[in-house]
Amino acid sequence: MSVKTIYPKKGLKGEVRVPGDKSISHRSVMFGSIASGTTEITNFLQGADCLSTIRCFQKMGIEIEQKPDAVLVRGRGLYGLSAPEGTLDVGNSGTTTRLLSGILSGQDFTSVLSGDASLNSRPMGRVMSPLNSMGARIESVRNDGCAPLRIEPGVLHGIDYRSPVASAQVKSAVLLAGLYADGNTSVTEPALSRNHTELMLGGFGAEVSSGVLKDGSAVAGIRPCKQLYGQKIRVPGDISSAAYFIAAGLVVPGSEILLRNVGTNPTRAGILKVCEAMGADLTYLDRNTADCQAKQETGGEPTADILVRSGSLHGTVIEGSIIPTLIDEIPIIAVMAACAEGTTVIRDAAELKVKETNRIDTVTENLKAMGCSVTPTEDGMVIEGGKTLAGARIRSYLDHRIAMAFAVAGMAAEGETVIEDSQCVDVSYPDFFATLESLS
């Protein structure tokens, strides 16, 4: 087992350029593969999840070249994928599995998707059900609603799907299948989830519509499509990765960290609102340098440089439609809450239970190990902050976001903290520990 020891720190200083956004990197390879012509991707995230996506498409005959400064995807059109030999290995990646299921539903060959133990225990009924109602033929090989999934050729029809969960993976799977359908497709979700698919597919030439209704629910629609066109994509820095350094800058006393080129798409930036509600000192820089893209767009995705200075935080309530915009950041938000004065309540976040681990359980267990008073609930947790955390042995359960969140907690704690299975950070941020150390 790989372990990492974290020591208490004071005064983190420096500049961090976080790696490319994971969700956008996945999509750029997927859409590039089914587009006609070459897609050139810069700042692609070389994390294990996105490499799983690359390998799946290479196995279906797509030439993908890793150059030092770009990834080139030689797309072969909507119907240009070829039948893979053997199982497509999706590793730890839910995004690969669910979005690929939508694309594979429209192909004329059989495919099987399977991943690691965590992935193969996550719910896939949420994509199988709408896709099969479009005419796809997806079955769970073990008949337990999870991967491995076998996908047989089917004839797809457009549907208007009402998703019970706000999930960009579900929405994207249905919209991608909609490219191959014989009529229009729409997905309504209870609140707006990340909209990278809508933005990027539009850029590739698909006819996509989207809007938020008065009651807060969101609708995205797509028309069947004959061709997508290869694009140049500059992937913005991942706000989900920046989140650990935002939190470190806030909770480690005497810190000042400048984060460069962070994606600030409002459907992802809930953590910034929560930081402000907790009294954080964040400054958005708008300097006119090549690095600082504040208020500019990268392929429809806004970015900013963010200056973080430590200060005292107070508890807050996090609930409702903001939840999908910060769902992956809840472990690190919980750590901030533990370091803040007063109580933080997180609710409406039952989706935490079906992430890489059950994050209500894994956050609760590890915060308790550090001496924090936390009560898990059915759809979130209640955290009593303000007591200095005590260094502890942290069980990451191979969940990258748990490992990174508690490494930050360790810096704000008294005594040593040991992160078990620390190499799991490779899933989304291979250089995480080196970058964290560079700030000391």
**Interface stretch with ligand S3P, choices 130-138, 163-171, 222-230, 385-393 (CB under 6 A):** 163-171
Nearest approach in angstroms of CB 310 to ligand S3P is: 28
In the bound state with ligand S3P, the residue whose beta carbon lies nearer, of 49 and 421, is: 49
- Tell which positions 93-152 bind ligand S3P, by CB under 6 A: 95
Only one of the segments 3-11, 162-170, 179-187, 360-368 lies at the binding site for ligand S3P (rule: CB under 6 A); that segment is 162-170
**Among the residue ranges 5-13, 164-172, 315-323, 361-369, the one whose residues contact ligand S3P (CB under 6 A):** 164-172
SS3 26: helix
Interface positions, 340-359, toward ligand S3P (CB under 6 A): 351
Strand 88-91 with 111-115, pairing: parallel
Q: Which residue has the tokens 């979005």?
A: 99
Does 262 bind ligand S3P (CB under 6 A)? Our answer is: no
Residue identified by tokens 């939508």 is: 102
Residues in 309-338 at the binding interface with ligand S3P, rule: CB under 6 A = 327-328
Task: Indicate whether 168 belongs to the interface with ligand S3P (CB under 6 A).
Answer: yes
Name the burial class of residue 68, with classes exposed (0-12), middle (13-18) and buried (19+) by CB atoms within 10 angstroms of its CB: exposed
- Residues with active-site annotation: 328
CA terminus-to-terminus distance, the chain: 26
Residue 266 CA, distance from chain mean position: 14
Smallest gap from Cβ 110 to ligand S3P, in A, equals 25
Helix (H) or strand (E) holding 188: strand 185-189
Q: Which is nearer to ligand S3P, 45 or 259 (CB)?
A: 45
CA dist., res. 126 & res. 278, Å (int): 34
Site for ligand S3P contains 404 (CB under 6 A) = no
DSSP character at residue 4: E
Of these, 9, 74, 76, 194, which contacts ligand S3P (CB under 6 A)? 194
Q: Which is nearer to ligand S3P, 305 or 399 (CB)?
A: 399
**Tokens in use for 264?**
């600030």
CB-count exposure of residue 311 (10 Å: 0-12, 13-18, 19+): middle
3-state SS, residue 259: strand
Q: Which stretch binds ligand S3P (CB under 6 A): 52-60, 168-176, 336-344, 364-372?
A: 168-176
What are the residues binding ligand S3P (CB under 6 A)? 23, 95, 167-169, 172, 193-194, 327-328, 351
